[in-house]
């Protein structure tokens, strides 16, 4: 397994760690996190731990693609596993944010629904031996989702100080990009979906 694929697998492995850190019952074990007041916005060590895990996973997403292209290490496994790793990381975090009532449920449902449809289309295309790599708008969606999540994890700092809901704006932009990229994937794969044998 080459380095980009190892980074992809590592990103997948970070997802259960993120979920564990997020949902661990700290109060039952008497664990209290230090909080910092940043110009009237509270930020706890708990948020920082979650941010570090998510940021490390997000950086591996950037690195594996760059290394694969630079060293010509693009593989079928990478094309298949990289978007799955992205979706596991991003969707798990979005679900947790919705569970905590930090983000609205509607955009999360839209983005999850889009991913299910795209994955179904990919499965249909793979039956014909076709592996569809992530398109430009799909990458825009993923990057926007990641930045929105980072802002939510740090309570929308520094934008919260000036009362600008930039995290929410990014989330809805990611939802729009999700819809557009889903449509693009469907149009690319419709021949494989509707083919008759």
> What CATH fold (topology level) applies to the domain 3-193?
1.20.120
Residues 6+ apart with CB under 8 A from 131: 76, 79, 80, 122, 125
Which of 30-44, 150-164, 179-193 is predicted with the least confidence, judged by mean pLDDT? Answer: 179-193
Report the pLDDT value the prediction gives residue 134, as an integer from 0 to 100.
Answer: 64
- C-alpha 175: how far from its chain's center? 12
Average pLDDT over residues 76-90: 83
Share of the chain above pLDDT 90, in %: 56
Structure tokens at 12: 């997948």
Expressed in angstroms, the distance from the first to the final Cα of the chain is: 36
| 101-139 per-position pLDDT tens digit | 999 999 999 999 998 888 887 777 777 666 666 678 888
Q: Distance (Å, rounded) from C-alpha 11 to C-alpha 14?
A: 5
Residue with the larger pLDDT of the pair 68 and 19: 19
**Per-residue pLDDT, 81:** 82
Please state the domain extents for the chain.
3-193
Q: Helices 45-70 and 76-99 sit at what angle, rounded to 10 degrees?
A: 160
C-alpha distances in Å from residue 66, one per residue of 51, 145, 167: 23, 19, 27
Measured distance CA(76)–CA(43) in Å, rounded: 41
């Amino acid at each position: 397994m080459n380095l980009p694929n190892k980074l992809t697998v590592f990103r997948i492995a970070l997802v259960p760690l993120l979920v564990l850190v997020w949902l661990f019952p700290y109060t039952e074990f008497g664990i209290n996190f230090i909080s910092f007041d940043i110009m009237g916005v509270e930020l706890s060590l708990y948020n920082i731990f979650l941010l570090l895990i998510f940021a490390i996973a997000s950086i591996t997403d950037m690195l594996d693609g760059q290394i694969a292209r630079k060293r010509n290490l693009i593989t079928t496994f990478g094309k298949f596993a990289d978007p799955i790793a992205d979706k596991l990381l991003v969707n798990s975090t979005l679900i947790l944010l919705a569970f905590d009532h930090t983000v609205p449920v509607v955009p999360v449902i839209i983005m999850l629904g889009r991913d299910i449809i795209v994955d179904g289309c990919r499965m249909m295309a793979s039956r014909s031996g076709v592996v569809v790599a992530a398109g430009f708008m799909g990458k825009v969606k993923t990057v926007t989702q990641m930045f929105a999540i980072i802002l939510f994890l740090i309570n929308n700092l520094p934008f919260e100080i000036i009362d600008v809901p930039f995290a929410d704006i990014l989330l809805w932009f990611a939802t729009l990009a999700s819809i557009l990229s889903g449509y693009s994937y469907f149009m690319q794969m419709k021949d494989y979906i509707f083919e008759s044998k």
